[in-house]
Amino acid sequence: MKIQPYLVFEGNCQEALNFYQKTFGGQIINRETYENKEIDIPEHYRGKLQHAELKGEGFHFMGYDASPDTPLTSGSTIQMSIDLNSREEVNKIFDKLSNSGIVHTPLQETSWKAYYGRCSDQFNINWMINCKL
């Protein structure tokens, strides 16, 4: 079994995947737009992503642009969690993700003996970044 996150965006999926690729590395694969699809989608939205994946060492997630008539509610019911090997890696990734976003829990040592922080990025995706001490 493999469980994989699938992120939903409001027309800026390509921008978000480019940002995550710069942050984590990896490759954007299986990129498909709404172009030439026989579905009811506005002409101006045809170039948006119907599906794409970002895959790299230790991670693989998918994303797409929801059709404009799909109601999306930004919420806090899911968190993307990253376990790293050092404080330096945590600092680097946390700084990139929280820049232009919101820091909810500043980086700190925790009761579960980890270096941890929580933020939302500029695309309103929630992240928990962690490394064991």
Q: What is the pLDDT of residues 80-124, one digit of tens each?
A: 999 999 999 999 999 999 999 999 999 999 999 999 999 999 999
pTM comes to 0.90
Query: Domain 6-65 belongs to what topology?
Result: 2,3-Dihydroxybiphenyl 1,2-Dioxygenase; domain 1 (3.10.180)
Q: Structure tokens of 124?
A: 């309103």
> Is residue 60's pLDDT more than 80?
yes
**Domain made up of 80-132: CATH architecture:** Roll (3.10)
Alpha helices in the chain (DSSP H): 13-24, 87-98
CA–CA gap between residue 18 and residue 63 (Å, rounded): 12
User: At 54, is the pLDDT very low, low, confident or very high (cuts 50, 70, 90)?
Assistant: very high
CA–CA gap between residue 23 and residue 13 (Å, rounded): 15
Domains 6-65 and 80-132 share a fold: yes
At position 53, the amino acid (one-letter code) is E
CA–CA gap between residue 74 and residue 23 (Å, rounded): 22
Q: What ranges do the domains of the chain cover? A: 6-65, 80-132
Q: Are 35 and 50 in contact (CB under 8 A)?
A: no
Q: What is the pLDDT of residues 14-53, one digit of tens each?
A: 999 999 999 999 999 999 999 998 888 999 999 999 999 9
> Is residue 1's pLDDT more than 90?
no
Using a 10 angstrom Cβ sphere, with 0-12 exposed, 13-18 middle and 19 or more buried, the burial of residue 48 is buried
